[in-house]
Structure 1
């Protein structure tokens, strides 16, 4: 099963849209799998364990699919669905393609590298490592940053300073635990450095990918992405002749394996080996189609439920409930200023407004952050509060 019609001599350069579609296929599969697991987990709580290991499970499935595709067609699983394959580029071809400029994109794609060339075992292993490892590491770094990014939301790094103070409390005289607390301090410093540097690293990675894609779109390079350039590979179309030869080779290999399975051993053992081989062949032939159909089914269900929820929401729109009454100020709490635009703490015009969800009164963000961090309560109502309950306010001008 393929999404495109292949043909010609295989030297044609893939279009930008083919490569984008192949690149986005695996994230779509991951979203479909995560959505399905979340739906099943609502009825079968045991599926929550798989959701906890979502990245690891999908990396394992991706590794199996890509390993099979690389071994049989010198392509990733997503590339093979779009009739594409990966062709190694040697230094001589690479320098020729670079010196030819924008007019050499097509020539580089079909001149020096024969379409029959396949990836070596070492190139397959390196390709599999990047195809599986990079998305997995990226997902873990994104999750780590999302989990701790509230620490960088404060003004002038107040959140990071709080994080470091919590990880390395002031040392007391004679406190052995404080003297041995270098590891928490090191972890806090590493986390702070990561939270500051990761947005720039992410922006750099996105900028590099955009530059490669723009250069490929303008026919200035044969490399679609930095990863493909690092692997010294280019992506080419699979010709009809190559498809026929690959099918013929697969049939011959399977026939030889079945013949060897029938050649020796007792009859039950021969039947068991032959049945196992045929089951493996059927699984390899139909797994890809089943995964693609699952993506279509996921998109159809997503559209169905989204349109149904919007229709129900428009039919049963209820008026919003009235807001609850404001908490009363404490007798010994901070008095409210006469001007609602004045901060009750600094008695100046409120800037960078924020509130605590415990009381709902608005202050300047640095003022309320420092007060709640020191006293652990709202200064007006004395209702207990934490810095995690502080919410920034954005006023339209």
Structure 2
């Protein structure tokens, strides 16, 4: 029994095959980086909405572009993603020939063009599309719960069926990954993730020759930078390559140095830790923004407290924004926050989850 379970803590039958702990750790690395960067963007947007508000509104697209550049750099130079290279792994193409497995060339040679682009799309595009889909589902459920923009009769069945089928589709997706990991643990599969199988590659550990080849390539790149280029076109291409390489190197170095700090931020801002922080750091209500300290003469606020600042009518279905405390009609607040992601009065970064409905006591 001990021999059968040895693969749980050591490498499996293949000497260069990573353990389940290594592959799961590299998978969780990027998932820990994203929330931390998202919190940084939120803090900057709240501190100066006019200058940094776009970071919060377009965070998914900005993060996808940075992730694309980072993964492109590492796939081209190290035959691995950033997180895989961080844990000393690489991607190889395995071909079956009479039961034997033939690996590709050295790590510096990179993947084939086809598998390179397949790996890049699965590393960047799939997480981006899933994030947008989850936000779309959350918005559709919000609209369905409060009957905002109800679907027409022709689309109502499809609308309801889509919301009802998504949890089962998501369960099947997660179950697919779990089954693949269990097969990897038991030695029945070469890939711990279906995405690697779709890309046609497998993860193995870096060898001593791979590390030496990477060091020699880095040294050759430094020596090449000191040599002058030929024509103007070659100089432009060389400058562009240097810029993209420097950008990817800066991103990778910054993430490598700050990865543990980012994981600490993820724990610090977790829901369990926030409860204890709020109980220990209860502060009084902050004063209103300086540009609103004009009393009844402020053009942004109506004279009557029962009037919505957006539609300038008596409020219906009172709703407050948790980020600023101002009260609006629910439809007004929902529509504005959905399109602008900020408070219409203060400009603070705001999401739909910050809408708080107010219930007046019955008289």
TM-score by length of 1: 0.58
**Alpha-carbon distance in 2 for matches of 1:151, 1:279:** 45
Preserved CA contact (<8 Å) 1:32 1:295: no
**Alpha-carbon distance in 2 for matches of 1:72, 1:389:** 53
Counterpart of 1:167 (choices 144, 147, 151) is 151
Distance 1:115 1:280, change over 3 A: closer
Question: Which range moved further: 46-55 or 209-218?
Answer: 46-55
> Which residue in the other structure is 1:297 paired with?
261
**Alpha-carbon distance in 2 for matches of 1:189, 1:209:** 30
The one-character-per-residue Cα deviations of 1:35-92 (angstroms, maximum 9, x if unpaired) are 0011111211032322122211111111100111111111111111111111112254
**Alpha-carbon distance in 1 for matches of 2:39, 2:160:** 33
> Which residue in the other structure is 1:215 paired with?
183
> Which residue in the other structure is 2:89 paired with?
84
Counterpart of 1:35 (choices 39, 50, 54) is 39
The one-character-per-residue Cα deviations of 1:185-227 (angstroms, maximum 9, x if unpaired) are 33x4433222121111100010110000011111111111111
> Which residue in the other structure is 2:198 paired with?
230
Distance 1:298 1:252, change over 3 A: closer
Number of equivalenced pairs: 271
Counterpart mapping for 1:173-252 below 5 A: 185-186=154-155, 188-252=156-220
Q: Secondary structure of 1:75's match?
A: coil
Cα RMSD of the aligned pairs, angstroms, is 3.8
Preserved CA contact (<8 Å) 1:90 1:232: no
Point out where structure 1 has 5 or more consecutive residues left out of the alignment.
Answer: 1-9, 97-107, 154-158, 170-184, 319-356, 359-387, 392-397
> Which residue in the other structure is 2:103 paired with?
113
Greater C-alpha radius of gyration: 1
Distance 1:315 1:29, change over 3 A: closer
**Alpha-carbon distance in 1 for matches of 2:212, 2:138:** 48
Q: Secondary structure of 2:102's match?
A: coil
**Alpha-carbon distance in 2 for matches of 1:54, 1:76:** 21
> Which residue in the other structure is 1:18 paired with?
22
Preserved CA contact (<8 Å) 1:228 1:234: yes
What is the CA distance between 1:20 and its match in structure 2?
0.8
What is the CA distance between 1:22 and its match in structure 2?
1.0
> Which residue in the other structure is 1:334 paired with?
none
Q: Secondary structure of 1:259's match?
A: coil
Counterpart mapping for 1:126-165 below 5 A: 126-150=118-142
Distance 1:37 1:151, change over 3 A: closer
What is the CA distance between 1:125 and its match in structure 2?
0.8
**Alpha-carbon distance in 2 for matches of 1:228, 1:39:** 35
> Which residue in the other structure is 1:65 paired with?
70
**Alpha-carbon distance in 2 for matches of 1:218, 1:200:** 26
Point out where structure 2 has 5 or more consecutive residues left out of the alignment.
Answer: 1-13, 285-316, 319-355
Q: Secondary structure of 1:167's match?
A: coil
**Alpha-carbon distance in 1 for matches of 2:66, 2:208:** 29
TM-score by length of 2: 0.63
What is the CA distance between 1:253 and its match in structure 2?
4.3
